[in-house]
């Protein structure tokens, strides 16, 4: 057996290939990896297809197919009567760089600023700004006690509903969908919002989107131009901040207190095009906007010709009493666009949301939704329409309210007991998916977040959500997707970490 045959045979035996990967693809991958690692050096001759097939005890046709693929991608070159030789990838890359072309073989050449942790130099200015840091891992509130638990969702029922839709598979559900979404789902959402959120809505006003981020992006594109001002809460939902930055809007942070967005004279001296709010449960502080503030905001929108974007992101999770009425229900001048998502209630990956637009915007938003997004996913929308229409959605919400409410109560009770006597305030709002632990102003909540992470506990520093210099310190603790067992195990550890930070 030749050295090359021995090398490839060893690679085939050691590599972790997918069990259904064809043998010719296995050989191709093994050879390509050996060439990149320079175990098969540039210019070295490979065994003939006949000899390699014999040495590896595989079909010669398999070897020929693998060699042809390697040759097509430039890893090897073959000359009739001479044999097959490994190409010099480094020399090829150098020639391509010298000619200004982009190499098609092997690894691309290194570019300025393309090392790990740096921005690629060929991104646009906007692209460099948007990728300067990954906002999701920094700001998305995760279950504080390990892996997310989605066991409360009725997956078998959901699978049956999806299977039924696929069995029927109407042609209309296989297309993109040009009418703003699957009509039965829009009808179901219309009835749900009327009954549970006091939203004033007709079915024509409802657009099905791929979640709140897409709804925000669509609003930013259609209602504002680059350089326009957007008022946003401070602290603020990071996803809205990123969506508006991507469309080059000027952000004006508006302070939030116990009654929600608090406008001052300096704010009122500016002219916003968009006003983003989470009035029923402010993200991330949990504050509920008072009726007086809601009316003030609606008046401001009218006088300044601004659009209010109401994000009702977790309205279903109110554990005592009825859910609060939406701001949109108070709007008599059609200045509010109302949005929600099923990702919090069903499961995050479903990526189905809804946007309720004023009547005058229906045609424009319906057209842009199709032209810019090509939404599709009508089969999922059909299953969701059945899930709501057959009463399963209401049953599921009632169930998870009980489950999440019990988890919230256990976490709060445990922390209150462990933190008794400490200068720590635990949020009392009976809604939402996370607790806010307010800390003294001299406590470094970012350092506490890192200390918790080192112990395997995920919390977020409240101060990081401010655009202006932070005026409050605290920790955001997600509990909804944690089991009671994990809460009982991890809550005392979190309390100990907080005490160590407060006493430091």
Residue-wise DSSP of 150-184: -TTS-HHHHHHHHHHHHHH--GGGGS--SSSS-HH
| Per-residue pLDDT tens over the stretch 104-157 | 444 444 444 444 445 455 788 788 777 776 788 788 889 998 788 888 999 999
Q: Of 115-119, 154-158, 175-179, 237-241, which range is least confident?
A: 115-119
For residue 492, give Cα distances in angstroms to 414, 419, 485: 7, 9, 12
Contact 318, 400 (CB under 8 A): no
Q: Is 120 left (phi over 0), alpha (psi -120 to 50) or beta?
A: beta
235-252: average pLDDT: 94
Q: What is the 3-state secondary structure (H, E, C) of 204-256?
A: HHEEEECCHHHHHHHHHHHHCCCCCEEEEEECCCHHHHHHHHHCCCEEEEEEE
| Per-residue pLDDT tens over the stretch 42-79 | 888 888 889 888 888 899 999 898 888 888 888 888 87
| Per-residue pLDDT tens over the stretch 450-503 | 999 999 999 999 999 999 999 999 999 999 999 999 999 999 999 999 999 887
For residue 410, give Cα distances in angstroms to 153, 428, 470, 495: 21, 13, 30, 13
Contact 393, 387 (CB under 8 A): yes
Contact 259, 290 (CB under 8 A): yes
| Per-residue pLDDT tens over the stretch 297-341 | 999 999 999 999 999 988 788 877 666 789 999 999 999 999 999
Percent of the chain at pLDDT exceeding 90? 59
Q: What is the 3-state secondary structure (H, E, C) of 260-326?
A: EECCCHHHHCCCCCEEEECCCCCCCCCCCCCHHHHHHHHHHHHHCCCEEEEECCCCCCECCCCCCCC
Res 239 pLDDT > 90? yes
CA 114 to CA 110: how far, in whole Å?
Answer: 7
Res 7 pLDDT > 50? yes
Res 91 pLDDT > 80? no
Q: 10 Å Cβ neighbour count for 102?
A: 9
More confident: 277 or 128: 277
pLDDT at 93: 55
pLDDT at 284: 94
Res 346 pLDDT > 80? yes
- Nearest C-alpha neighbor of 464 from the set 452, 475, 454, 480: 475
CA 302 to CA 29: how far, in whole Å?
Answer: 63
Res 170 pLDDT > 70? yes
pLDDT at 102: 47
Phi first, then psi: what are they for 381, rounded to 5°?
-60, -40
Return the SS3 of 120.
coil
Q: Is 301 left (phi over 0), alpha (psi -120 to 50) or beta?
A: alpha
Res 168 pLDDT > 60? yes
Q: Of 3-17, 89-103, 157-171, 260-274, which range is least confident?
A: 89-103
Domains located in the chain, CATH noted: 3-99 (1.10.10.10), 142-146+395-503 (3.90.1150.10), 158-390 (3.40.640.10)
What is the strand order of the sheet 250-257 is part of?
206-209, 353-356, 336-341, 307-311, 274-277, 229-234, 250-257, 260-261
CA 434 to CA 428: how far, in whole Å?
Answer: 11
Strands 353-356 and 206-209: antiparallel
Strands 434-439 and 425-426: antiparallel
pLDDT at 134: 76
| Cβ neighbours of residue 415 closer than 8 Å, sequence gap 6 or more | 426, 435, 437, 491, 494, 495
pLDDT at 98: 55
Chain mean pLDDT for the chain: 88
* 366's tokens: 């319906």
């Amino acid at each position: 057996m030749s050295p090359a045959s021995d090398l490839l045979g060893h690679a085939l035996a050691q590599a972790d290939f997918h069990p259904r990967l064809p043998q010719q693809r296995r050989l191709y991958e093994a050879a390509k990896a050996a060439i990149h690692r320079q175990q098969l050096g540039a210019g070295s001759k490979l065994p003939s297809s006949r000899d390699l097939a014999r040495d590896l005890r595989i079909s010669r046709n398999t070897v020929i197919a693998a060699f042809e693929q390697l040759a097509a991608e430039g890893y090897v070159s073959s000359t009739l009567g001479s044999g097959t030789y490994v190409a010099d990838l480094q020399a090829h890359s150098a020639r391509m760089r010298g000619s200004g072309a982009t190499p098609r073989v092997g690894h691309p050449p290194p570019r300025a600023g393309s090392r790990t942790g740096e921005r690629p130099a060929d991104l646009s200015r906007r692209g460099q700004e948007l990728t300067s840091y990954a906002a999701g891992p920094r700001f998305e509130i995760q279950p504080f006690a390990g892996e997310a638990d989605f066991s409360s969702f009725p997956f078998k029922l959901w699978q049956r509903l999806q299977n039924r839709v696929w069995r029927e598979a109407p042609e209309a559900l296989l297309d993109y969908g040009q009418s703003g979404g699957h009509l039965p789902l829009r009808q179901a959402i219309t009835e749900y919002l009327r009954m549970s959120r006091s939203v004033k809505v007709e079915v024509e006003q409802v657009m099905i989107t791929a979640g709140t981020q897409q709804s925000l992006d669509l609003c930013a594109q259609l209602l504002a131009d680059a350089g326009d001002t957007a008022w946003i809460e401070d602290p603020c939902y990071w996803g809205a901040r990123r969506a508006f930055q991507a469309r080059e809007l000027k952000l004006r942070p508006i302070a939030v207190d116990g009654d929600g967005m608090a406008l001052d004279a300096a704010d009122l001296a500016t002219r916003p095009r968009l006003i983003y709010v989470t009035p029923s449960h402010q993200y991330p502080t949990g504050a509920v906007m008072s009726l007086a503030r809601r009316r003030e905001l609606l008046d401001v929108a009218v006088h300044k010709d601004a659009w209010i974007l109401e994000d009702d992101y977790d309205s279903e999770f109110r554990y005592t009493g009825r859910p609060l009425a939406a701001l949109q229900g108070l709007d008599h001048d059609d200045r509010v666009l109302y949005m929600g998502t099923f990702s919090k209630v069903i499961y995050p990956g479903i990526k189905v949301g809804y946007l309720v637009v004023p009547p005058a915007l229906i045609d424009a938003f319906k057209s842009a939704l199709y032209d810019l997004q090509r939404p599709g996913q009508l089969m999922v929308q059909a299953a969701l329409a059945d899930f709501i229409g057959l009463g399963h959605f209401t049953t599921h919400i009632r169930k998870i309210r009980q489950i999440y409410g019990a988890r919230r109560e256990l976490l709060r009770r445990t922390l209150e007991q462990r933190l008794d006597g400490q200068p720590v305030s635990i949020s009392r709002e009976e809604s939402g998916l996370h607790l806010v632990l307010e800390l003294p102003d001299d406590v470094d909540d970012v350092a506490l977040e890192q200390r918790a992470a080192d112990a395997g506990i995920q919390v977020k520093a409240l101060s990081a959500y401010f655009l202006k210099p932070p005026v409050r310190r605290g920790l955001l603790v997600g509990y909804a997707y944690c089991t009671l067992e994990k809460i009982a195990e991890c809550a005392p550890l979190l309390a100990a970490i907080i005490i160590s930070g407060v006493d430091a």
